[in-house]
Amino acid sequence: MVDVNGVRLHIAEQGEGPLVVLLHGFPESWHSWHHQFGPLADAGFRVVAPDQRGYGRSDHPDDVDAYTILHLVGDVVGLVHALGEEKAYVVGHDWGAPVAWHTALLRPDMVLGVAGLSVPPPFRGTRPPLASMEERFGGRFYWNYFNRPGVADAEFGRDVRTTLRKFFYSASGSASPSGEIKQPLVEPGRGWLEAMPDPEVLPEWFTDEDLDALTESFSDGFTGALNWYRNLDRNWELTAPWHGAVVTRPALYIYGDRDLVPAFPGTPELIEKLPDLMPSLRRRPLELAGCGHWTQQERPNEVNAALVEFLTSCA
């Protein structure tokens, strides 16, 4: 446990050498990186993965306003210092990717290199994201569903294990062998889980032991994690000073071709333009064939090889 900015963060740690901070997404925990610890430590790095605020054994502040992007970046900065370091490599998946990208954007002096999985680098839009999606999809986009106080919290908390089993299967490459990707919409009067398939057998990459660990980490519910989404428009306001700014530190972006996030409106066009928009990218975005949303868990070998190559090239 590490005290950072008024909250206690639970971390997992392995290895010695330059610090690499691994940031998980929703609905996950530090455990989502368990395939990366050994290979990165063997490559000569000190690997640390926290349960971010609102998750797992870390603190869950009650105030929704305690989950802005500035709080989340502040936790990374504070964690690096609490671990006795001045600089670190920062790697994030899903929600952890925006935290990693913004850490590099706001504190480039502390970031040796940054990698994002699933979610591409931030390019701040001209309108608040929740309002934009509300208009585009008539309030059915899952961000807007998550923004309703207590609604998704109650749905997901009724049967945590089933919730997580459905989430992980439905957003994986295993659930869409045809490669068809649909926008994550929640129909009026229905919860999100109702439309998700519930697999009789888990994919090979997601074991019962993984599901056990994840279920335990959400024993206190989903509200802290959902509060990240409830700050999307607030984050847009807070990052106004960086409008038009780009990440300048060495960067890597990895995504799956069956991942729903890179298929969000406007995102495929952004990914195509990334090499021109971000000269700091060390290679073209790495697209993993047949991979869904859970990048580092579905394709650990490819992700580990790409991360080791990237991190050692930045050293």
Is residue 206 within 8 Å of residue 294, measured between CB atoms?
Answer: yes
Between CA 283 and CA 9 the distance in angstroms is 33
Between CA 122 and CA 243 the distance in angstroms is 10
Q: Which pairing describes strands 11-14 and 46-50: parallel, antiparallel, or unpaired?
A: antiparallel
Q: What's the pLDDT score for residue 188?
A: 87
Between CA 87 and CA 145 the distance in angstroms is 37
Q: What's the pLDDT score for residue 165?
A: 96
Catalytic residue among 10, 93, 102, 293: 293
Between CA 271 and CA 116 the distance in angstroms is 12
The residues near 185 (Cβ < 8 Å, ≥ 6 apart) are 137, 140, 141, 142
Quick check: is 293 catalytic? yes
Catalytic residue among 51, 75, 94, 259: 94
Contacts of 127-134 with C-beta under 8 Å, sequence gap 24+, read 127/236, 128/232, 128/233, 128/236, 128/237, 129/232, 129/233, 129/236, 130/232, 130/233, 131/233
pLDDT tens-place values along the chain, 315 residues long: 999 999 999 999 999 999 999 999 999 999 999 999 999 999 999 999 999 999 999 999 999 999 999 999 999 999 999 999 999 999 999 999 999 999 999 999 999 999 999 999 989 889 999 999 999 999 999 999 999 999 999 999 999 999 999 999 999 998 877 778 888 999 988 899 998 999 989 999 999 999 999 999 999 999 999 999 999 999 999 999 999 999 999 999 999 999 999 999 999 999 999 999 999 999 999 999 999 999 999 999 999 999 999 999 987
How far is C-alpha 178 from the chain's CA centre? 25
Tell me the whole-structure pTM to 2 decimals: 0.97
Q: What's the pLDDT score for residue 180?
A: 81
Element holding 55 (H helix, E strand): none
- Cβ count within 10 A of residue 241: 7
* 2-314 is classed CATH 3.40.50.1820: yes
Between CA 179 and CA 174 the distance in angstroms is 10
